[in-house]
Structures are given as C-alpha cells and as structure tokens.
C-alpha cells in the first residue's frame, strides 16, 4: 500500500471525470495526499468544483499554463494555502485542430508553436513555479504518448510536442536532481478522453492495441493512476528522468 499521508499534490489538467488527471487525483487522494486540482479556464470550473467533494479536503484553482502570470498567480495561491508542495502532476496537452488533422507537411508555424508551448514548454514553466515550494524535494510527473517516437495517424504536431516533452523530462531531472526533485513521464496507452477525441481514427489505434499488445486490451485510467502514485512516492526514490510505459505492453511489439 502506497502511503502519501502528509504530502501535498497539485494536479494540472482536469477537464472532466474521464481525464487521466482525475484518475491520478483519486489515487493520490486514496493514498492519503492532500490534493489541489488545477483547471484551465472558467469554462471548466464547474466540472472541477463538482468533482471536488469526491476527494478529502481538496481545493480547485484556475491556471492556464500558457500564461506566465497565471502560473505565478496559482503558485502564490498554493503557497498561501499549503506552504510546501511535494507532488506535481502535469497532465496537460493541446494542439490546434489543423495540426492534428491536416497532412503533417502542411503544419503551420503558429499551430506548431502553440502545440509545443502548451504541451511541452509548460512543464518547464510549472516546474519553475513549483520548485521553490518543494523544499523537502518531491516528484514531478507528466503524461506522454508513444507518438513521440513512432508515427501514428493524425498525431502529427502532438507527436513532435511529446518528443520535446520527453527530452524536457530528462533535462529537468538533471536540473532539479540536486534539490531532490525527481521528474518522470508516464507514457500511457490510448484512452478515450476529451483530448483523444481530437485525434482522427482514434478507434483504429485502440483496436490495434487490443490486437497486438501483449495484454490484448487497452489500458484503463486507474492503471495510469496506480503507476502515478508509485512514481510520486518514495518507493520510486531512485527513478528520475524516465519515461515509464503504462500501455499493456504495446510498445514492445514489432508486428
């Protein structure tokens, strides 16, 4: 049983109850951590507020991670509320529709910039805001996908953003290691969430996993949550800069 009692965990990226962020927040809560949820915009506030009562003593904060002032503001609020932070979960990604729909060759400069900014740079910005509050060290986790390494239909600019995100994990791990802050990514298999709905032919990807993955099924968000609390806990004290697959083994297959 993983024990996170006395830890404060901040989870970025809650859109609704299907979000991977929500499964991770529930697992962190079950393990005894105090959980702060961060949602992107006013539009998502009601969803977050409605889910809060399912957690013990959780609070919700608004933060658009593409705006530095909002990141500064949320960490000021988190400092005032909790003083010290232990666990940060970055479960955030976005690419404009054209960048995950059109032929990759047609990717526009501005769409590419937005995808990389929201999906990769934001991890650096969030880590910079969090680090001064992680005075006892801790764990920063992000969510990535195998499209960083292999070509999947329509994943396009998001695949490039995930490659940048995974490299960011390694450089942040090196930058923050002396502060005893570990930085890792979970590479989740495909899961039907709001973000996934934007990827055309997503069902084809789900079907391929069922057919070819060693476990012959798709992963569930709760399994991503389980891996997340392990990586967030002291049981993973020797693991940093890593990408851990939670994908029913799909990534090891050839044909």
Annotated binding-site residues read 13, 19-20, 40, 64-65, 92, 95, 162, 191-195
Nearer to ligand NAD, 25 or 195 (CB): 195
Q: What residues are designated binding site for substrate?
A: 95
Give the chain's largest Cα–Cα span.
53
User: Could you say whether residue 52 binds ligand NAD (CB under 6 A)?
Assistant: no
Q: Is 145 an active-site residue?
A: yes
Shortest distance in whole angstroms from residue 9 CB to ligand NAD: 16
CB atoms closer than 10 angstroms to residue 3: 13
Cβ-contact 200, 194 below 8 angstroms:
no
List of residues 6+ apart from 201 with CB closer than 8 A:
153, 154
251 secondary structure, DSSP code: G
Binding range to ligand NAD, per CB under 6 A, among 8-16, 27-35, 77-85, 100-108: 8-16
Residues in the chain: 255
Q: What track of x and - describes contact with ligand NAD for positions 74 through 93 (by CB under 6 A)?
A: -----------------xxx
Q: Retrieve residue 187's tokens.
A: 């590479």
Q: What is the Rg, in whole angstroms, of the alpha carbon atoms belonging to the chain?
A: 17
Q: Is 39 an active-site residue?
A: no
Shortest distance in whole angstroms from residue 22 CB to ligand NAD: 8
User: Could you say whether residue 20 binds ligand NAD (CB under 6 A)?
Assistant: yes
Tell which one of 61, 75, 94, 155 touches ligand NAD (CB under 6 A): 94
**How many Å apart are CA 225 and CA 245, to the nearest integer?**
13
Q: Give the end-to-end CA distance of the chain in Å, rounded to a whole number.
A: 37
Nearer to ligand NAD, 92 or 133 (CB): 92
Report the interface residues with ligand NAD, using CB under 6 A. 13-15, 19-21, 40, 44, 64-66, 91-94, 118, 143-145, 188, 190-191, 193-196
């Amino acid at each position: 049983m993983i024990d996170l009692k006395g830890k404060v965990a901040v989870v970025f990226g809650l859109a609704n109850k299907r979000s991977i962020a929500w499964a991770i927040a529930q697992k962190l809560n079950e393990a005894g951590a105090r959980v702060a949820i961060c949602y992107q915009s006013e539009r998502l506030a009601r969803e977050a507020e409605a889910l809060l009562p399912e957690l013990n003593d959780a609070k919700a904060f608004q933060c658009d991670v593409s705006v530095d002032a909002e990141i500064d503001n949320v960490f000021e609020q988190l400092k005032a509320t909790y003083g010290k932070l232990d666990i940060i979960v970055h479960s955030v990604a976005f690419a404009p529709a054209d960048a995950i729909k059109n032929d990759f060759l047609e990717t526009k400069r501005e769409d590419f910039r937005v995808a990389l900014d929201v999906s990769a740079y934001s991890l650096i910005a969030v880590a910079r805001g969090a680090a001064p509050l992680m005075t006892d060290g801790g764990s920063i986790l992000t969510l990535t996908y195998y499209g960083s390494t292999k070509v999947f239909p329509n994943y396009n600019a998001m695949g490039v953003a995930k490659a940048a995100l995974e490299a960011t994990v390694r450089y942040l791990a090196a930058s923050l290691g002396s502060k005893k802050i570990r930085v890792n990514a979970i590479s989740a298999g495909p899961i039907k969430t709001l973000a996934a709905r934007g990827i055309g032919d997503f069902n084809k990807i789900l079907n391929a996993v069922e057919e070819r993955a060693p476990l012959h099924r798709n992963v569930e968000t709760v399994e991503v949550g389980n891996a997340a609390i392990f990586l967030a806990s002291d049981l993973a004290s020797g693991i940093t800069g890593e990408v851990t697959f939670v994908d029913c083994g799909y990534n090891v297959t050839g044909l």
